[in-house]
Amino acid sequence: MAAADPTGMTRFEYVSVLISIIIAFGVAEIISGWGQRILHPERFRPFWIQTAWTGLILLLMVQFWWGFWQCSAPCSDSRPSPSCC
């Protein structure tokens, strides 16, 4: 079992909060860029590949964040798996 500090949080919980904040900054940057394209279409030439890439990156960031929670479960030594961190 992981050692807990006086606040009752484990190391995983501290790291997950830090990763969540970093991913939230990235998501906010992508969404604000989309907002600028919607509000000021005359400034930006529409280019489908840029929209596809930003959509893919947004999806990958959300998937990474969602999949990170699997790392909180302890791994059994007898049967390691790729999802074990």
User: Taking the model in full, what pTM does it have?
Assistant: 0.70
Average pLDDT over residues 21-29: 96
Is residue 31's pLDDT more than 60? Answer: yes
The full DSSP string for the chain is -----TTS--HHHHHHHHHHHHHHHHHHHHHHHHHHHHH-TTTS---HHHHHHHHHHHHHHHHHHHHHGGGGSPPPSSS--TT--
Question: Does pLDDT of 20 surpass 70?
Answer: yes
The whole-number pLDDT of residue 3 equals 56
CB 12 within 8 A of CB 72: yes
Q: Span 33-52, mean pLDDT?
A: 88
Among 55, 69, 81, residue whose Cα is nearest residue 20: 69
